[in-house]
Structure 1
Amino acid sequence: ESLSTANIEFCLDVFKELSSNHVGDNVFFSPLSLLYALSMILLGARGNSAEQMEKVLHFNHVAESLGPEFKDSAKCSQTGRIHSQFGVLFSQINHPDSNYTLSIANRLYGTKAMAFHQGKSITVEMMYQTGKFKLATIKEPQMQVLELPYVNHELSMIILLPVGTADLDQVERQLNSKTFQEWTSPTNMVERDVEVHLPRFKLGIKYELNSLLKSLGMTDIFHWAKADLSGMSSAKDLYVSKVIHKSYVDVNEEGTEAAAATGDILVVKRLPIRAQFVANHPFLFFIRHIHTNTILFCGKLTSP
């Protein structure tokens, strides 16, 4: 639960930075992949470098959940405990009966024209289905929240779609860990008959995240004179030169295939979509593991 909280808060922090730095562009990344890759660096970080990373990654939630006897232990033990929680998380996501594959290998080093965005007419391949799905209607900001389940209801795609006079900027301004949990809570998400429309789309995006992580407070590890990575090596001039994150998603009638790499590989595949949702204006979407409430992928579609 504590790791899930860190995952959600880190996801929304990164999303808001990416969205503000790429106004009007599509956004897509894997918070779980990025969180795990950076936690590998944290294993070797010490001193102020480690404290900055723990704060940005929201691992303080993990430490707080482990009791006072653990909080008094060494920082390296705390990081080791975090990694043990990752192990438990991945075993829950990747159980033998899964109809999908999730793998991480870290390395340190029908067509029709429609008006989709701001009145622009583009050709979009649309998907359609009617069925029973969990749907929430949010009054402030005006928005529909739809959950599309994947096979066996182990994974799902959650879509936040502004309606009425609201636009995506209003949704993003009010989006945080608390509101996300509220909007997607069982109290709001009620199963009902829904006619779902969704554009087919592919996104392939690569980010260099040094500036973004610095803006969140992770600064020392990028400075040759300030970085303390003595847990990795005794060399005094060791620092992180670049953090590069690449991700890909393909949403179509056969399912969703998504992959991410932060010097690592994260793949989700063979996910038959049981329903499709047509949105004729920009929306946010999240692919999550339902049981652990872990966000695997996060994105914003402004143009299919």
Structure 2
Amino acid sequence: MGSLGTANVEFCLDVFKELNSNNTGDNIFFSPLSLLYAVSMVLLGARGETAEQLEKVLHFSHTVDSLKPGFKDSPKCSQAGRIHSEFGVLFSQINQPDSNYTLSIANRLYGTKTMAFHQGKNVTVEMMYQIGTFKLAFVKEPQMQVLELPYVNNKLSMIILLPVGTANVKQIEKQLNSGTFHEWTSSSNMMEREVEVHLPRFKLEIKCELNSLLKSLGVTDIFNQVKADLSGMSPTKGLYLSKVIHKSYLDVSEEGTEAAAATGDSIAVKSLPMRAQFKANHPFLFFIRHTHTNTILFCGKLASP
């Protein structure tokens, strides 16, 4: 995974954990790529301690460390420019001409809010049902199923982390980090097999201010009119960031996914002839990612449809 891809996953999980700690039991949904790109645009004009805070929280320090000799000593604007050049390459890969989707990133800072639900109460939910050949993994600790549902033409996919047995979603959240996420979703774990999928229809439309979240992660100076250093944008003193607003929308229905046809000689299907059951009738985590680059476009938790 490239440096930008690493930053994408690390930042995604940082934001998720912060949102989850402040909204226990609620639905969560946001676009880590959109938020990463929006905040990195501010980095272009940031200098000094303000820039260092942004680089650390966005996990761009790893990106800078990976620069060729001599480049990491160049001005901050050049480093940020290289990062934005990587974004350009990434967006061109995601928005291929033959894709039947378009990823639009607005030049604003967009985020997430929670949707209230009644904890501990059962609700009647309309479930989607389909049988197909999907990539599926069984994780022993914590006990969970990991399912990958491909979107049209396999350009995008939804990864679902569903607790099973005696496990619950809190146990998954506790152990979730970049290392475990890659392990749970690795090709060595995910095997193609016939799966009977039960998944709730749900819509999430979320908009909220993320100032406090970014401050909790370590971005503080940029919100302070006295401490903020955005001299790369303007020589005028007193320039600072007032609000970070993030907005995301998701509609999951039968039309949104399709079963992937099995190709080649699939050993997993042959060695596991029994049809697996995947019933998402309790809280789960989900990630929508671009298959070719492994970039996480959206991340969330469905606690109540």
Is this a same-fold pair by TM over 0.5? Answer: yes
Distance 2:174 2:188 in 1: 23
The residue type paired with residue 173 of structure 2 is: E
Q: Which residue number in structure 2 is paired with residue 86 of structure 1? A: 87
Distance of aligned partners of 1:86 and 1:7 in 2 relative to their CA distance in 1, 3 Å threshold: same
Match of 1:33 in 2: 34
CA distance in 1, matches of 2:232, 2:109: 14
Query: Match for residue 274 of structure 1?
Result: 259
C-alpha deviation, 1:234, in angstroms: 1.1
DSSP-derived class of the 2:301 partner: strand
User: 1 CA distance for matches of 2:220 and 2:174?
Assistant: 25
Structure richer in strand, relative to its length = 1
Greater shift after overlay, 96-105 or 193-202? 96-105
Contact 1:117 1:282 in 2 (8 A): no
SS in structure 2 at match of 1:247 = strand
Q: Distance in 2 between matches of 1:89 and 1:209?
A: 25
Instruction: Tell me which residue corresponds to 1:206.
Output: 207
1:233 is aligned to 234
One-letter code of the match for 2:65?
E
CA-CA distance at 1:121 after TM superposition: 2.5
Once the 2 structures are TM-superposed, how far is the Cα of residue 108 of structure 1 from its aligned partner?
6.8
Provide the aligned length of Structure 1 versus Structure 2.
Answer: 282
Match of residue 266 from structure 2: none
- How far residue 117 of structure 1 moved from its aligned partner, in angstroms, is 8.4
Q: 1:204 to 1:277 in 2, by over 3 A?
A: farther
Residues of 2 paired with 1:20 and 1:297: CA distance?
A: 19
- Give the CA deviation at 1:274: 3.1
Task: Tell me what 2:98 maps to.
Answer: 97
Deviations along 1:65-120, one digit per CA (max 9) or x if unpaired, are: 222221121111000000000000000001111111112230479xxxxxx98652
TM-score norm. by structure 2 comes to: 0.89
Aligned residue in 1 for 2:143? 142
Amino acid paired to 1:14: V
Question: 2:109, 2:246 within 8 Å by CA — same for their partners in 1?
Answer: no
- After superposition, give the CA deviation of every residue in 1:186-230 in whole Å (9 maximum; x if it has no partner): 010011111111000011112211111011110000001100001
Q: Equivalents in 2 of 1:75, 1:193: separation in Å?
A: 51
Q: Provide the identity percentage.
A: 79
Q: CA deviation at 1:277?
A: 6.0
Distance 1:168 1:286 in 2: 14
Q: TM-score, normalised by structure 1?
A: 0.89
Residue 11 of structure 1 deviates from its aligned partner by: 0.2
Give the Cα separation in 2 of the matches to 1:120 and 1:214: 34
Return 5+ residue gaps in structure 2 as ranges: 111-116, 261-276
Matched, 1:74 2:59: no
* 1:285-304 matched pairs, under 5 angstroms: 285-304=286-305
Q: Does 1:19 align with 2:20?
A: yes
Amino acid at match of 1:273: E
Deviation at 1:273, TM superposition (A): 3.4
Q: Who is 2:190 aligned against?
A: 189
- Secondary structure (helix, strand or coil) at the match of 1:124 reads coil
**Structure 1: which amino acid aligns with 2:36?**
L
2:237 partner amino acid = K
Equivalent position SS for 1:71: coil
- Structure 1 alignment gaps of length 5 or more: 110-115, 256-271
